[in-house]
A and B are shown apart, each in its own frame.
Chain A
Amino acid sequence: AQRVTQPEKLLSVFKGAPVELKCNYSYSGSPELFWYVQYSRQRLQLLLRHISRESIKGFTADLNKGETSFHLKKPFAQEEDSAMYYCALSGQGDRDDKIIFGKGTRLHILP
């Protein structure tokens, strides 16, 4: 069964320190992985997707199929990174696949 696990509900990190938000998944096929972010008083929006291999706002995420993980990382946290982060999974181009979200991790950047 499809499943996305974000083990941390809350992560507090000092400004300037490295950030790692964990995401593990379970999927029988080839997954497409995403990170979505919701800043205070804003709508949920895409942060990055693994297929793009981009760095967005200093964040990167590498798909590790051996460990079935897609952890989100940033070397130096900034106060504006405080937000709710959701890891999500879908199949690759399969029209019958739904999108599964994790429960989310609240990232709190301490000054």
Chain B
Amino acid sequence: GAGVSQSPRYKVTKRGQDVALRCDPISGHVSLYWYRQALGQGPEFLTYFNYEAQQDKSGLPNDRFSAERPEGSISTLTIQRTEQRDSAMYRCASNPTGSSNQPQHFGDGTRLSIL
């Protein structure tokens, strides 16, 4: 595709429900990053993958959050038993190499609202 694609663009759900956010990176890009951005804050690192391998998940706030990229392309960020504090913009980015010092290509993000 032309760029990083994220779906859904908006997600509203009740507290306690599970949600799955999808990211389709630019074809051929090695690295895929997930960020969370609260209102008035910058993107906060959650986790990243090189190919299908999860390299760093130190930014995931707790064990309700998980991510996978089973075939080294599309990735899913899953939040179980959602809480109101999970409400944020979730951003995905990819870059063509496996190196974090390369520019990131961002998607439009998924705005998650937990009622």
Contacts and interface: CB of A to CB of B under 8 A. Distances in A.
A103 B109 contact: no
Interface residues of B, number: 28
Nearest to A45: B106
Q: Is the interface of B mostly helix, strand, loop or mixed?
A: loop
Interface string B94-115: 0000111101111111000000
Interface in B30-79: 33, 35, 40-45, 48, 50, 55-56, 58-59
Size class of the A contact interface (CB-based, 8 Å):
20 to 34
7 contacts: A9-B40, A43-B106, A95-B99, A98-B45, A98-B59, A101-B45, A103-B42
**For the complex of A and B, 3 pairs with smallest distance between CB atoms:** A101-B42, A32-B101, A46-B103
Interface of B: 3, 33, 35, 40-45, 48, 50, 55-56, 58-59, 91, 93, 98-101, 103-109
Interface of A: 4, 6, 9, 32, 34, 36, 43-46, 49, 51, 86, 88, 90-104
